[in-house]
């Protein structure tokens, strides 16, 4: 046998082995539900949905949904386990849960609907990009048909039929090619409020990259159709700001991404988000801040910045730091959703934690800091 035929045979054998192994592992990752059990009940009562489980992002599970008491804890055991495919090494998507079905995303771009009681797969839908966000399940309008909402790492927002996994709509949340969505969309009053971040914080590590042009935002969509309603940015339109040491154009301001789910204040008709640092200079007033936006039109009602002049990107951790801003900051994002709660004094307070290690109690009416 000629040498090149041996190599072709070896390559074909390896490809075939890979296909067989892939099929075996995928087949054995979890059993597939059969018969009537293969269809998820789209109207089963919702137990948990979204990042914070309620518009205020309290993450409090109602007692009637817990099903557990202290005396039960010693008797707990594993009922079932779901194994993601072997090429998955991260599970970042927080599930949505009904009394019938668990919905979860995955690193490799699949979204799964699992039987809550057995873990068998009712359906799986390929999205095409990593899903890090929590799953948000709900009807755009009271009494209407439910949809399953989430964002992907490529910056798209999806709405699926929770019964079958069929796509109802898909839209891009931002025109920037490096936009991404890591925070869960928040559903309220027929609108879907989507936080937009980006991976541009990492790309400036490449010295030839023209840093930076992404701007964080909240994008509001019609929850039924996916039509854009408004988009509010956290930085001004970037302009040329000289060149780096390799004569590559610099841009700014940029950044102030929003990594986490918006918090809804029903009584005041507004939402709250926390932002991250600027990626380049000049810095602006909306980075490392908590913002209040009008639910109807996205107007910024107030902003409270906790760390000024924080410009940072991943070039700053490399020798030379070609794209690192001068006088680089400390990357002190508000990475988690603010939580709206009722204080002991009977007043509402917005609680927000920063990567600095500080936690702040903020007056939701005007952004004044009550305590830290």
| Backbone torsions φ then ψ of 154, nearest 5 degrees | -90, 5
CB 248 within 8 A of CB 165: no
Distance CA 333, CA 287 (A): 8
Helices (H) and strands (E) in the chain, counts: 2, 24
Distance CA 148, CA 184 (A): 11
CB 216 within 8 A of CB 225: no
pLDDT at 6 over 60: no
pLDDT at 77 over 50: yes
Residue 7: its pLDDT value, please?
55
Q: Is 184 exposed, middle or buried (0-12, 13-18, 19+ CB in 10 A)?
A: buried
Q: List, in sequence order, every beta strand (DSSP E) within 189-323.
A: 191-198, 217-222, 228-233, 239-243, 249-252, 263-265, 270-274, 289-294, 300-305
Give the number of other CB atoms < 10 A from CB of residue 316.
17
DSSP 263-275: EEETTTTEEEEE-
Query: What are the tens digits of pLDDT across the range 203-228?
Result: 999 999 999 999 999 999 999 999 99
Topology alike, domains 29-59+87-172 and 175-336: yes
User: Which residue blocks in 106-243 are alpha helix, DSSP H?
Assistant: none
Distance CA 67, CA 259 (A): 32
Mean pLDDT, all residues of the chain: 92
Distance CA 162, CA 144 (A): 13
CATH number given to 29-59+87-172: 2.40.10.480
CATH number given to 175-336: 2.40.10.480
> What contacts 75, CB < 8 A, 6 or more positions away?
none
Distance CA 45, CA 267 (A): 25
pLDDT at 26 over 70: no
pLDDT at 5 over 80: no
pLDDT at 27 over 60: no
Give the number of other CB atoms < 10 A from CB of residue 3.
7
Q: Residues of 51-80 as b/e, b for ≥16 C-beta within 10 angstroms? A: bbbbbbbbeeeeeeeeeeeeeeeeeeeeee
pLDDT at 102 over 70: yes
Among 26-35, 40-49, 115-124, 318-327, where is mean pLDDT lowest? 26-35
Residue 13: its pLDDT value, please?
52
Per domain, the residue ranges of the chain are 29-59+87-172, 175-336
CB 239 within 8 A of CB 252: yes
Residue 360: its pLDDT value, please?
99
Q: Which helix (H) or strand (E) holds 362?
A: strand 359-362
List 104's β-bridge partners, or say none. Answer: 112
pLDDT at 306 over 50: yes
Residue 19: its pLDDT value, please?
47
Distance CA 242, CA 325 (A): 12
Report the candidate in 210, 206, 242, 213 with the shortest Cα–Cα distance to residue 315. Answer: 206
Residue 67: its pLDDT value, please?
78
For residues 340-357, give the mean pLDDT.
96
Distance CA 65, CA 331 (A): 38
Residue 20: its pLDDT value, please?
45
Residue 24: its pLDDT value, please?
47
User: Which residue blocks in the chain are alpha helix, DSSP H?
Assistant: 3-28, 63-66
CB 38 within 8 A of CB 123: yes
Q: Residues of 155-172 as b/e, b for ≥16 C-beta within 10 angstroms? A: bbbbbbbbbebeebbebe
pLDDT at 9 over 80: no
151: its two tokens: 């964002």
How many residues does the structure list for the chain? 372
Residue found by looking up tokens 């001068």 in the block: 326
pTM of the model: 0.91
For residues 133-145, give the mean pLDDT.
96
Distance CA 280, CA 313 (A): 8
258: its two tokens: 């929003």
For residues 125-147, give the mean pLDDT.
96
């Amino acid at each position: 046998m000629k040498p090149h035929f041996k190599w072709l045979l070896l390559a074909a054998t390896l490809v075939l082995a890979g296909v067989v192994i892939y099929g075996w592992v995928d087949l054995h990752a979890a059993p597939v539900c059969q018969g009537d059990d293969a269809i998820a009940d789209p109207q089963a009562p919702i137990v948990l949905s979204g990042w914070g489980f309620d518009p205020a992002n309290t993450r409090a599970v109602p007692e009637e949904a817990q099903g557990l008491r202290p005396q039960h804890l010693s008797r707990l055991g594993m009922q079932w386990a779901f194994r993601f495919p072997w090429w998955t090494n991260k599970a970042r998507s927080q599930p949505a849960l009904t009394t019938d079905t668990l919905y979860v995303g995955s690193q490799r771009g699949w979204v799964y609907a699992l039987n809550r009681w057995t873990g068998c797969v009712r359906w799986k839908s390929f999205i095409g990009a990593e899903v890090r966000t929590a799953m948000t399940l709900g009807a755009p309008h009271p009494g209407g048909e439910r949809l399953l909402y989430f964002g992907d790492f490529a910056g798209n927002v999806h709405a699926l039929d929770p019964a079958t996994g069929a796509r109802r709509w898909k839209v891009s949340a931002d025109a920037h090619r490096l936009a991404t969505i890591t925070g869960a969309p928040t559903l309220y009053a027929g609108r879907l409020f989507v936080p937009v971040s980006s991976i541009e914080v990492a790309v400036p590590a490449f010295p030839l990259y023209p840093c930076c042009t992404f701007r964080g935002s909240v994008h509001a969509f019609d929850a039924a159709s996916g039509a854009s309603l408004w988009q509010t940015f956290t930085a001004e339109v970037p302009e040329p700001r000289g060149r780096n040491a390799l004569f590559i154009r610099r841009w700014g301001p940029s950044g102030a991404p929003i990594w986490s789910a918006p918090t809804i204040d029903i009584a005041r008709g507004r939402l709250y988000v926390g932002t991250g640092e600027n990626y380049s200079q000049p810095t602006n007033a909306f980075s490392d801040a908590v913002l209040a936006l009008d639910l109807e039109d996205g107007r910024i009602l107030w902003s409270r910045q906790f760390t000024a002049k924080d410009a940072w990107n991943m070039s700053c951790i490399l020798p030379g730091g070609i794209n690192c801003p001068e006088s680089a900051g400390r990357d002190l994002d508000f990475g988690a959703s603010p939580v709206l709660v009722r204080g002991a004094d009977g007043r509402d307070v917005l609680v927000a934690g920063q990567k600095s290690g500080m936690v702040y109690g903020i007056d939701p009416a005007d952004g004044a800091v009550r305590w830290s």
